[in-house]
Amino acid sequence: MRKLLVFTLLIIGLITQSEAQTDTFPVARKLGKQVAEYLKSNDFENIHQRFSEEMVAALPLERMKKIFSRLAIQFGAINEILEFNARETAEAVYFYQAAKFEKETLDLVFTLNDKEKFTSFSLRPHQQTYEWLTREYAKGPNDYEEEFIAIGDSLPLTGKITIPDNGMETVVVFVHGSGPNDMNETLGPNKLFKDLAYGLASNGIASIRYNKRTYDYPSAMAKQANSLTIQQVVVKDAVNAIKLARENGAKKIVLLGHSLGGYCTPMIAQLAQPDAVIVLAGNVSPIEDLLVPQFEHIKENDTSIKINDFRMAMIRMQVERVQKGDYDATTAPPLLPLSLPASFWLSLKDYNPQKVAKKQSFPYLILNGERDYQVTPKEAKKWKGGSKNKHSKTIIYPKLNHMFFEGEGICVPAEYEKEGHFSEIVLKDIINWISEI
């Protein structure tokens, strides 16, 4: 969260589902330490010998030496080899070997094929691992049933359904915010959706959560990087999750979207027809209108993140291009906000969630934190309660941030690196509202 400009050396080969094998963990652990030692001694030949044929073609040895020589100047030499971890997605298992360089702690990230050769190889900012603890307002995971599920038929997403003792009378379907989120919407030590899932299950409400497509299939998404739309990234998968809930016998389905997911809820609801909608810190204003205020807030209030005037000028230029409609399908992503492709911005052109919601009959619950600088309380008020259903309502909570964690003073990105938990007050309001509709 503290680094807005992510430096990444990323060489992706061909990754297939058949390569996502957790039984390679012992081999990968040994290899991770070996490769870190090779980097420490500048032994690039031994690393290169571990490349798959596709990787060798993508990154010849001499080019690899030049790249890593530049990285050595930027980050210094490796002083210490740290912990090893793995992250499994639907596409592959990603192995993380942490290493402490002189100026930065980085993760060596790689994937392996069935011949134990690298199919991808990168250096990324270190992601610390944390132990997640069940919140006080929730029972333990052994107090209800939890099953893995697949969302969609083509390139299915990995998900979980959490079922309380009373079954699937009511099911809440979670839709994540921006970025390649996992099913728990993990951010630092916090797991917002896991908090919610267990909190709801402890009160007799089932839920479905799933990995976002950009998390489960990063290689496949990278190949479509210049043609992605909001429908591909968010909407279609949410519709499929609601369809799955209905097929499993849910009598009441509630769509819950956080941040970008909240912004998209009217679009999703139009297609999936849930019984109710909950918007957690979802904006009404176009995404591009929020970016400059967000970066200005960080620039003014968080000295640990360096955003200079040139960077701000670039952001303003990118935002203005979309606001004025001064772009088309051929506009290069770096010229547009967040370097997202023109297809993404075109898929949201003229979309106004409040106008869509007010034509719908199901009730909306609009929730926002007063300390949220990403989606401010002004956005919650712009929803005007969502739809005209008599059960629609808006609640703004003092002291809560974008993740619905409590805090004091001005919120900055570093706040999300501290352990927090989804507000019990908000959880109770959600449960009471669902029982009333």
On whether both 150 and 22 belong to a single domain, the answer is no
Last residue of a domain, one of 97, 125, 153: 125
Output the six-digit token pair for 100. Answer: 């402490």
Pair 152, 205 in one domain: yes
DSSP, collapsed to helix, strand or coil, labels residue 64 as helix
Residue 416 lies in a domain: yes
Residue with tokens 């839920």: 207
Q: Which residues does 394 contact at the CB level (< 8 Å), separation at least 6?
A: 365, 366, 367, 368, 380, 381, 383, 385, 386
Average pLDDT over residues 173-189: 95
In a domain, 109, yes or no: yes
| CATH code of the domain covering residue 247 | 3.40.50.1820
Indicate the pLDDT class of residue 23, thresholds 50, 70 and 90.
low
* 91 within domain boundaries: yes
pLDDT in tens, 331-350: 999 999 999 999 999 999 99
Identify whether residues 121 and 188 lie together within a single domain.
no
pLDDT of residue 10: 33
Q: Are residues 115 and 226 in the same domain?
A: no
The count of structural domains within the chain is 2
Tell me how many degrees the CA angle 40-45-51 measures, rounded to the nearest 5. 105
Using an 8 Å Cβ cutoff, are 289 and 320 in contact?
A: no
Q: Which tens digits make up the pLDDT trace of 186-207?
A: 998 999 999 999 999 999 999 9
Instruction: Residue 240: name the closest of 308, 193, 173 by CA.
Output: 173
- What is the Cα–Cα distance from 297 to 232, expressed in whole angstroms? 30
CATH code, domain carrying 15: 3.10.450
pLDDT at position 3 over 60:
no
Look at residue 315 and tell me if it is in a domain: no
| pLDDT at position 304 | 84
Q: Which domain holds residue 86?
A: 9-125
Q: What is the pLDDT of residues 209-235, one digit of tens each?
A: 999 999 999 889 989 999 999 999 999
CB proximity list for 80: less than 8 A, separation 6 or greater: 99, 100
Specify if 99 maps to a domain: yes
User: 100-157, pLDDT tens digit by residue?
Assistant: 999 999 999 999 998 999 999 888 999 888 888 888 888 777 778 999 999 998 899 9
* pLDDT for res 109: 94
The predicted model scores a pTM of 0.90
pLDDT digits (tens, 9 = 90+) for 248-299: 999 999 999 999 999 999 999 999 999 999 999 999 999 999 999 999 999 9
pLDDT of residue 9 exceeding 80, the answer is no
